[in-house]
A = this chain, B = another copy of it.
């Protein structure tokens, strides 16, 4: 078990409700520390949440960069500058280049509002409703070079109701996200997650010291 909480940077683009779940998690300060909150857009609610919690904020405006590569480098510089050893994408709407994976190998966590590989992309909740699935859910995964593709850390199913619209379904999905993401980041911070050939092993803490 690591001795001090693992520093992670949280990347945001909007309201930051997943950031709030991390800020409120009992594991924060024990299993992980949020060393910075980085946004690709100024003036988003997520930045207010970070400031209210006394966490350093950085804005790296997407529009200031001429390529995904230079944008990614600036994001990584900001994260590394704050001491981050991992990134958590919490509603972050930009795709990072391979450079981010090189700086943070098996250490970038994303939360997606569907049971991947179903419904990748930016409209997962809408697409699930259009497809008329009966079950969708939440996936937390490590980021790899493909969008919404990397090794799956945790998934949880959410049932779709006959009268659901995007707002009502998204609300139930977010409730699961807010529970699942801090749990995963906590396990990551405690060093319990290892990746082998797409398989994410959750080390069983109760087994520690057994052999």
Interface residues of A (CB under 8 A from B): 115-119, 130-135, 137, 139, 151-152, 154-157, 162, 198-202
Report copies per complex.
2
A154 / chain B contacts, CB cutoff of 8 Å: 134
A116 to B151, CA, bound (A): 20
Residues A198 and B116 in contact, CB atoms below 8 Å apart: no
Residues A131 and B117 in contact, CB atoms below 8 Å apart: yes
Interface residue from B117, B130, B131, B201 paired with A162 (Cβ < 8 Å) = B201
Closest to A140 in B: B134
Known pairs A134-B155, A135-B137; list 20 more (Cβ under 8 Å). A115-B133, A115-B135, A116-B118, A116-B133, A117-B119, A117-B131, A117-B133, A130-B198, A131-B198, A132-B152, A132-B199, A132-B200, A133-B152, A134-B139, A134-B152, A134-B154, A135-B156, A137-B157, A162-B201, A162-B202
A137 to B117, CA, bound (A): 13
